[in-house]
Amino acid sequence: MIYSRTVILSIRRSVSHLKFSFRFSSTTSRPIYYEPVSRYANRVALIDHSSSYTYGQLYSLSRQLSRRLVPLCQQQKSTDDTSTRHHVQFGILCPNDASFIVAMWASWMAGATVVPLSSHHPPSSLAYFLTDAQCRGVIVGSDANNELIKTTLKGNAQIDLPIINITKKNLSTASLNEDISDDLLLTTTNIDRTQRSNALIIYTSGTSGKPKGCVLTFDTVQAHVDSMIKAWRWTKDDVILHVLPLHHVHGLINALLTPLYIGATILMLPNFDASKAWEHLVHPGFEQHVTVFTAVPTIYSKLIKDYETKLASRPQTRDFVRDQCSHMIRLMMSGSAALPESIQQRWYEITGHTLLERYGMTECGMALTNPLNGERISGTVGRPMPGVTIRIVKENPSSPQGYDTLVEADSDNTKVEASSKEEPIEGELLIQSPTLFKEYWRKRNETRATFTADGSFFKTGDICRYIPGKNVFAIRGRQSMDIIKRAGYKISALDIERVLLDNKNISECSVVGIDDSTLGQKIVAVVVPKSPNKTDELTTDKIRQYSKQSLPSYSLPDSVAILEQIPRNAMGKVNKKELARLIV
């Protein structure tokens, strides 16, 4: 829990329901998880694969776990870096169920920062995240995750962390009747507990080097949530079907923290399953009718395939699916990767919904969105979110800012500075917003480099196009060919290249992203074998098997192209745009 002054919490129970009473200093703002608990203690917050939980139950379980975490937070950890000395981090490796929320809330209650982890990451990646974030412990929510963390720690002698287990059995049998009315949980430590303190460190691949941890403060997370509630009209009556991973902004903040803050209900699947997702989207027998759904284009592609295989054969079924989706679901969104027009059109034919496409990044949150009400133009991401200002710029070393502004816009106004105000205008997208990340964890130079010289705008590295006739914006791709956007994940081609160059059968390699209607981009590894006799060791299956020891599953190459040599320019550099054209 994050405090700037003493907070006294009293929880009074009646026979029929929980009542929460809070007393705050007038200068203290409520952390993002207090609002729903104080207002909606008896409302159902989450229905996962095995049970359902009210807001009050999740809060009580989190309080119980937080007591186990406080002693770990109070242990002083020596470090030469004064900027991180008073921060405490906990890694969270929990499945998509109640254990993740409990672990997250409990960590915040204890004054710690949350580092979301994924079981899709290999032990080498998990070890890096835990050490780089200087985690004080790791919370695991399943037996499988517990074994994965044990393997991770066993293989890295320099990591000595306690493992805090919270399985589904613990959550379902934990007592909710204990009297904690006098429990002032947070005793004196050196942890900063203001809203400006760190809430999350979310790791994202960079264009070079190892993954960087994006630090999001509580103020930043609150700004994310407030902006989405305003733009997309979230209410407590909403029910969202959650099928996304929880270690990225889309699944964590958009689809989890936002509905939790407004008092809505979350139907959470343990992982994406197209048939089960369709059951929740159209089945009339469920008590909770889905009203909001958000996913990446790859998921929509798989849902379309499942529909055409299992549901589309009978006219009555087609009519039923379209009727249920168009009348019961108010909003369907797509993000994290460009939405192909073919998927947009087919989804409209099936469900009657024109998907709301939006644009965001871990570093800036949601930045642009098509309108909730009004025309949604395929291939565009609409206009800036509430509170966001954007610029389209071109580099100009002679300018004091280092660039010239071509277009500047917020949610209400657009100012065109370019000479042509009728033709589409392209340039790098810059963003100014209260949702901007605080810093890359322990990487001051990288943080400084990603902001403009005056520090006021974040440089996304994406090319943005302004379409004057429609007064909307479209994302045209990355400035750097070293970033691949596959299935909603932003992946560093350089990370994959480093792994492949350790393969004893590869002398050279270059990794590129190739446009793909299902994945957005697919990963192609272009390799030069050390010996012509070793090409049978460089099949796609064998390269994927080799790479999975060091890379998460979504970063594994989708295909391998073998060349005698990789073309380079006079400076010895690979032109990846030309290489991509060569292998298509």
Distance of CA 451 to the CA centre of its chain: 21
Query: d(Cα 305, Cα 144) in Å, to the nearest integer?
Result: 30
Residues in the chain with pLDDT values less than 70: 1-31, 76-86, 168-195, 205-209, 284-286, 569-573
* Residue 19, pLDDT score: 34
DSSP state of 385: P
First to last CA, the chain: 52
Q: At CB < 8 A and 24+ separation, what contacts does 47-51 make?
A: 47/265, 47/266, 47/267, 47/268, 47/288, 48/96, 48/97, 48/98, 48/268, 48/270, 49/97, 49/268, 49/269, 49/270, 50/97, 50/168, 50/172, 51/98, 51/168, 51/171, 51/172
* Residue 23, pLDDT score: 29
Q: Are 371 and 355 in contact (CB under 8 A)?
A: no
DSSP H/E element including 291: none
pLDDT in tens, 474-506: 998 777 778 888 988 878 887 898 889 889 999
Tokens 């994202």 found at: 204
* Residue 249, pLDDT score: 95
* Residue 85, pLDDT score: 52
* Residue 286, pLDDT score: 66
Domains of the chain: 55-193 (3.40.50.980), 389-432+450-480 (2.30.38), 483-583 (3.30.300.30)
